[in-house]
């Protein structure tokens, strides 16, 4: 063991991805693989609590755009185009088939909720532009003007579709980007942010104090429980539950040696991930009120960690 050449965890991860994802994604895998190995691009989530009305104009001058607003506009354009195509298809059975296809596509790709997308704004640079955002700056009260995060991390928050007064649970909340985004909606009547890691929960506390005024922090409860036991703490309580589970975190695993779950010493931990994810998902379901909505999300492409857990 001491003389055998040490294989980097990143190489083990990439070999695993090449073997499994090439089968799962087929012809898409080469382009997905290239994206996975590219430098990570960040989005700038605007802080609605900061006095920073000038920031959007500054970012737009740098050629950054609000990707949520863009997505909403594209969805509306697609919907209008689909309706126009449907009207041109004639009448009778042909039109009925076209309308059925339009409805099916609308169900698969619903437009973003207008009320949420008008409150959450996240600026990104265009495809191919790897310009970095400047560090966040404090306003006159000390609140930072935006939070740098992977823009894709906002998608589970948008999918959760929080409504005014909702009691919301973020079961695996740290380091805190999604928790902050949930508060940006302005709709949370109460927000429980939990993470099993005490050190990561400290980071969550720091983010809340840097971005959120005290009167808003008062509706947030931060805990460090094992999420699998949450139903024993507060079962059947929440209108919306976000279960963003620990996973293989594919980009990190392919790019970073530090804290890499593909390290040989963490093989058993990695193999047990789907069971952990299932237990967290079940705890999230039990924490929800009847008729509530839950979003399950990962940072992995693995069907074992996504579709199979949900099934």
Which runs of consecutive H residues, i.e. helices, occur in 88-226? Answer: 93-108, 114-117, 154-160, 177-184, 198-211, 214-217
Asked whether 221 and 195 are in contact (CB, 8 A), the reply is: no
Q: Is 202 annotated as a binding residue?
A: no
Q: Is 288 annotated as a binding residue?
A: no
Q: CA-CA distance, 309 to 152, in Å (whole number)?
A: 21
Q: Is 244 annotated as a binding residue?
A: yes
Q: Is 195 annotated as a binding residue?
A: yes
Q: Is 218 annotated as a binding residue?
A: no
Q: What angle do CA 164, 184, 77 make, to 5 degrees?
A: 85
pLDDT score for 190: 96
pLDDT tens digits, one per residue of 24-64? 999 999 999 999 998 888 999 999 999 989 999 999 999 99
Reported as half-sphere exposure (CB side, CA atoms, 13 A), residue 139 has a value of 19
pLDDT score for 39: 85
Asked whether 220 and 194 are in contact (CB, 8 A), the reply is: no
pLDDT score for 78: 80
Among 282, 44, 5, CA closest to 154: 44
* Residues found in the chain: 311
Q: Is 174 annotated as a binding residue?
A: yes
pLDDT score for 127: 85
Task: Provide block-wise average pLDDT over 10 residues at a time, the chain (311 residues).
Answer: 80 96 96 91 94 93 92 78 68 48 46 63 90 93 95 93 95 95 96 94 95 96 93 83 97 95 95 98 95 96 97 96
Q: Is 178 annotated as a binding residue?
A: yes
Q: What is the pTM of this model?
A: 0.86
Could you give the C-alpha distances from 190 to 115, 162, 212, 228, in angstroms and in order?
19, 11, 14, 21
pLDDT score for 3: 73
pLDDT score for 109: 46
Residue ranges of domains in the chain: 39-80+116-309
Q: Is 173 annotated as a binding residue?
A: yes
Active-site residues: which are they?
299
Q: Is 66 annotated as a binding residue?
A: no
pLDDT score for 206: 96
pLDDT score for 290: 93
Asked whether 166 and 60 are in contact (CB, 8 A), the reply is: no
- Report helix, strand or coil for 13: helix
What is the CATH architecture assignment of 39-80+116-309?
3-Layer(aba) Sandwich (3.40)
């Amino acid at each position: 063991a001491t003389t055998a050449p040490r294989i980097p965890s990143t190489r083990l991860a990439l070999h695993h991805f090449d073997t499994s994802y090439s089968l799962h994604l087929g012809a898409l895998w080469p382009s997905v693989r290239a994206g996975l190995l590219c430098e990570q691009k960040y989005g700038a989530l605007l802080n609605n609590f900061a006095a920073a009305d000038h920031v959007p104009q500054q970012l737009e001058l740098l050629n950054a755009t609000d990707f949520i607003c863009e997505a909403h506009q594209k969805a509306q354009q697609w919907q209008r185009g689909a309706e126009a195509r449907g009207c041109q298809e004639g009448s009778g059975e042909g039109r009925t088939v076209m309308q059925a296809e339009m409805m099916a596509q609308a169900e698969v790709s619903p437009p973003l909720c207008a009320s949420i997308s008008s409150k959450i704004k996240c600026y990104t640079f265009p495809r191919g532009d790897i310009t970095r955002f400047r560090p966040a700056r404090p306003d006159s009260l000390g609140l930072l003007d935006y939070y740098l995060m992977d823009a894709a991390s906002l998608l589970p928050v948008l999918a959760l579709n929080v409504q005014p007064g909702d009691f919301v649970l973020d079961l695996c909340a740290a380091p805190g980007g999604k928790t902050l985004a949930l508060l940006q909606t302005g709709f949370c009547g109460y927000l429980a942010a939990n993470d099993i890691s005490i050190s990561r929960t400290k980071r969550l506390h720091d983010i809340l104090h840097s971005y959120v005024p005290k009167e808003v922090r008062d509706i947030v409860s931060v805990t460090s429980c094992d999420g699998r036991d949450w139903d024993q703490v507060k079962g059947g309580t929440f209108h919306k539950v976000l279960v963003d589970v620990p996973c293989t975190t594919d980009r990190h695993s392919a790019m970073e040696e530090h804290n890499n779950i593909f390290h040989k010493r963490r093989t058993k931990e990695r193999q047990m991930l789907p069971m952990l994810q299932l237990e967290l998902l079940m705890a999230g379901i039990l924490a929800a009120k009847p008729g509530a909505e839950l979003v399950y999300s990962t940072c992995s492409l693995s069907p074992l960690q996504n579709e199979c857990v949900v099934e």
